[in-house]
Amino acid sequence: MLYRWQASSRPAAGAEQGARATVAGMTTTPDTPPIDTVDEARVEAFVEQFLTDLAGAATTVMTVVGDRLGLYPAMAGTGPVTAAELAAATGLHPRLVTEWLASQTVSGYLTHDPAAGTYELPAEIAMVLAETDSPAYLIGAAEIITGQYLTLAELEAAVRGDDGIDYDAFPNCLFHGVERFFRTAYTHEMASTWFPVVDGLVPRLEAGARVADVGCGHGQSSLQLAGHWSTCTVTGFDLHEPSIVTARAKAVEAGMDGRVSFHVADAADVGPGPSPWCCSPMRCTTWATPRPHCARPATCSPTAASSSPSSPGRWTASRTASATPRCASTTRSPPRCAPRARWPSPGRTGWAPRAAPPRGCGCWQRPDSAGPRSPPTPAPTSCSPRPSEARAGHRRPRWAVSSATRVR
């Protein structure tokens, strides 16, 4: 049904008996020609969508609070708890823990038994929010969103004409959120699903390749790749110096600093080397303006590597591989996979990707036997924005390249 907007709140002549729009601020005037017409159902549908979006944004605030304060891990696998028990277990303020529990219940993240006064984190939701090694552990994304809100001023300036947001301008929680978010996919899909779709890549890795991880961030992909293929040496490159510092520390922590190294470098300077090489199409997210350093050199051609026997290496990109059709990803629901492993109760024996999945299927699977659990990556305790001023001569990374891997 079409309606027109009224200039004043007073109904137009002849409209008094007409049906009134159900959306505030709109009245119907069926016997006068419309000035501007709107589809009421569409307005109402969008209002619903918008309110849902706002509810999601508000929920994310509480999710980050629950993550940073350790509320989800404290509830995972413990069964129903009262607010007082949870507050005691976490050392938090009982009344505000009660408020948090109520808000999370309204959001559908927790179940509540009013008679018993208890709250419970269901196992399936704990997989997403609390189980660090679960294939559905995605809570890092909430930190990314937080980082985006903390750089609203920079975004506003960028849209006014500053032409982009310095990657340096984002707060630590965003880098940390990226690491945690992508880590899940690297753990459960990189070796088992992504790399096998690139012809000849896995045998080269097994034979002991030199790998360049371009846009390595905190080094999760480099370290996991080196951990999976112990004959490979991996060199991570990233424009963002603080990320490289963090990646180096993680390599030392993992005892891999001999085989994995990290360097501050622009993707454009990493290749192509003396022979043609192939860079599979790289997806540049559009948070900031795509830049020349989206690493698509002029020599990049989908056929270059295959047509050139002298090619020193093949390139792959995580986004490219993840775009390959498959029946499961961290953003798709497990029921699409068949057969699907039945989920045991979470968190007690560790998660592992299927060892050798059929091509195109990344079904998740729990190991039969207990396996080591990776140490949890703790949430940052503070999230203050970094100073956004540019350093002289520093080439500032933008939110552009996801990750690219080159294998020699």
Ligand X SMILES: C[S@@+](CC[C@H](N)C(=O)[O-])C[C@H]1O[C@@H](n2cnc3c(N)ncnc32)[C@H](O)[C@@H]1O
Binding site for ligand X (CB under 6 A): 167, 178-179, 182, 214-218, 220-221, 237-240, 243, 266-267, 293, 295, 397, 400-403
Residue with smaller CB distance to ligand X, 134 or 402: 402
In the block, residue with structure tokens 């905190």: 218
CB of 144 to ligand X, least distance (A): 9
Give the residue among 46, 25, 36, 31 at the shortest CA–CA distance from 3. Answer: 36
Q: List residues bridging with 201 in a β-sheet.
A: none
CB of 297 to ligand X, least distance (A): 11
- CA-to-CA separations, 190 to 335, 353, 356, 358, 361, in angstroms, rounded: 21, 10, 12, 14, 12
CB of 260 to ligand X, least distance (A): 14
Residue with smaller CB distance to ligand X, 101 or 256: 256
Residue with smaller CB distance to ligand X, 109 or 262: 262
| Straight-line distance from the first to the last Cα atom of the chain, in angstroms, rounded to the nearest whole number | 63
Tokens (6 digits) for 175: 């880098």
Q: Which residue is nearest to ligand X (CB)?
A: 217
Q: Are 168 and 396 in contact (CB under 8 A)?
A: yes
CB of 76 to ligand X, least distance (A): 24
Residue with smaller CB distance to ligand X, 101 or 400: 400
Residue with smaller CB distance to ligand X, 103 or 402: 402
CB of 24 to ligand X, least distance (A): 41
**What is the gyration radius of the CA atoms in the chain, in angstroms?**
26
Please provide residue 114's backbone torsions phi and psi, each rounded to the nearest 5 degrees.
-60, -35
Per-residue burial over 175-187, b if 16 or more Cβ lie within 10 Å, else e, is bbbbbbbbbbbbb
Q: Are 311 and 277 in contact (CB under 8 A)?
A: yes
CB of 265 to ligand X, least distance (A): 6
CB of 263 to ligand X, least distance (A): 10
Looking from the CA of 245 toward its CB, the CA atoms found within 13 Å total 5
Residue with smaller CB distance to ligand X, 293 or 354: 293
How many residues are present in the chain? 408
Residue with smaller CB distance to ligand X, 97 or 267: 267
Give the residue among 347, 386, 382, 394 at the shortest CA–CA distance from 366. Answer: 347
